């Protein structure tokens, strides 16, 4: 397994989650 790829995926997922959370809180 390529650990670098897993870490990269985790960073991307966490970034997207944070971005979606910001959009949701702004729309309220």
Largest CA distance in the chain: 41
Report if pTM > 0.85. no
**pLDDT per position as a tens digit, 1-28:** 689 999 999 999 999 999 999 988 887 6
Predicted confidence at residue 28, as pLDDT, reads 65
For the chain, state the CA radius of gyration.
Answer: 12
* Domains of the chain, residue spans: 1-28
Predicted confidence at residue 7, as pLDDT, reads 95
Q: What is the C-alpha to C-alpha distance for residues 27 and 24, in angstroms, rounded to an integer?
A: 5
Q: How many residues does the chain have?
A: 28
Predicted confidence at residue 26, as pLDDT, reads 83
């Amino acid at each position: 397994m390529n650990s670098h790829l897993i870490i990269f995926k985790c960073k991307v997922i966490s970034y997207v989650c944070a971005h979606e959370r910001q959009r949701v809180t702004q729309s309220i």
